[in-house]
Amino acid sequence: MLVDMDYFFVACEELRHPEIRNVPAIVGSDPKGGAGRGVVMTCNYNARKYGIRSGMPISAAYRIKPDAVYMKLDYEYYEKISEKIMRTVKTFGDKFEQVSIDEAYIDVTKRVEGRPALEYAEAVKKAVFENAGIKCSIGIGPNKLIAKIACEKAKPDGIKIVEEKDAKSFIEKMSVDELYGVGRKTAERLRAMGYETVGQLAKANIAKMVGEFGSMGAELVRYANGVDDSEITENYAVKSIGREFTFEKDTDDMNEVEREIGRLGNDVIEDVKKGGFTFKTVTLKLRYSDFTEHLHSRSIKAASEAAALINTAKALYNENVDAEKKIRKVGVRVSNLASSRGQKRIV
Ligand SMILES: [Mg+2]
């Protein structure tokens, strides 16, 4: 089962600005009177009526509908709502895989034994709406590929079930670019090769496809036949990032400890940047030579810079250190992480 929120960012904005529900509303870059760069991230169905779509240049949206409501992306706010949604969705599956801020697969194979899948999906939708106030669409299929395509067909606010025996016929009349994993460029190349529909692609010569696309070519033919063996894989969210250091000789030299906090802080920031995170909480750990250990934490405005981390950790050290004792070990940790990147998108 794929559970995907409907026009998620704007739906979140509607929760705190109910007045935008009945007008075209867009979350994306600042349109700057039509001169703005960047794109529409999400828009509601009122905006879609005018032909506005996510991924469209914001300037194009502005030309179509200058009087729409334009809002900037507030990722932190959306993540809070997403957390509520994902906690809810997770309880409905034996396996759970979050694929983006507003989408997750759950394995419900055993959960729907002896009961209608439709009823189960309705219960998921109801729970999401009750807990988070957001509407979603659900696709159900024998594998992730079919669930994903079914979900697209269910939008908005719908449920689409495709049984295994119907999977192939469900997709065969679709245009190749509706197939999962086929972006605009791949679709163009497939059309140039004479494959317009998924059904045509399903009969393609695999060797020829591999010659053209590499191993992805064989995968596309499998997809076109409705086959997808990939598992729903749990991804364990990173909760915190930290580093510790044990001094060779216990020390009460404040300069030495501060230098080490600086070094640890820089290492932590490297991982923060690699993961594309921001952090809001800094924790300093001090272990003394008598083996007592103390944790000191402070929350700050979301940051990803070394200075924010190191200055906070040093302040915690200066305010809390027991100058009577020697220090054996020091640790620096950041938590309350959020992704500083936008939504994942398949091109
Ligand atoms: Mg969505």
Centre of ligand 1 from the C-alpha of residue 11, in Å: 10
How much is the pLDDT for 343? 30
| Structure confidence at residue 126 (pLDDT) | 98
Whose tokens are 């659900």? That residue is: 138
324 CA distance to ligand 1 centroid (A)?
Answer: 56
> In this structure, which topology does domain 8-74 adopt according to CATH?
MutS, DNA mismatch repair protein, domain I (3.40.1170)
Pick the CATH number of 76-167 from 3.40.50.300, 3.30.70.270, 3.40.50.1580, 3.40.50.970: 3.30.70.270
Q: Indicate the domain borders of the chain.
A: 8-74, 76-167, 169-224, 240-339
Q: Taking ligand 1, which is a single-atom ion, which protein residues have CB atoms under 5 Å away? A: 4-5, 8, 102
Distance 100 CA to ligand 1 centre (A): 8
Tell me, in angstroms, the distance from the centre of ligand 1 to residue 334's CA: 30
What's residue 72's pLDDT?
Answer: 85
- 125 alpha carbon to ligand 1 midpoint, in Å? 14
Say what the pLDDT of residue 43 is.
96
Contacts of 94 (CB under 8 A, 6+ apart): 106, 107, 108, 109, 110, 111
83 belongs to the catalytic site: no
Write down the catalytic residue from 103, 119, 152, 244: 103
Give distance in angstroms: CA of 129 to centre of ligand 1. 14
The CATH class of 240-339 is alpha beta
What dotted CATH number matches 169-224? 1.10.150.20
Dihedral over Cα of 208, 187, 36, 73: its sign: negative
Query: Cβ(138)–Cβ(163) under 8 Å?
Result: no
Maximum CA pair distance of the chain? 80
Residue 136 CA to ligand 1 centre (angstroms):
8
Query: Scanning the structure block, which residue is given the tokens 């075209």?
Result: 24
- Measured in Å, residue 211 CA sits from the centre of ligand 1 at 34
6 Cα–ligand 1 center, Å? 5
What pLDDT shows up at residue 347?
28
Residues of the chain with pLDDT under 70: 235-238, 339-347
Cα gap 304→6, rounded to integer Å = 30
Question: How many Å lie between the centroid of ligand 1 and the Cα of residue 259?
Answer: 46
> How far does residue 5's CA lie from ligand 1's centre (Å)?
4
Contacts of 219 (CB under 8 A, 6+ apart): 181
Residues pairing with 338 in the sheet: 278
Torsion from C-alpha of 289, 294, 299, 302, nearest 10 degrees? 50
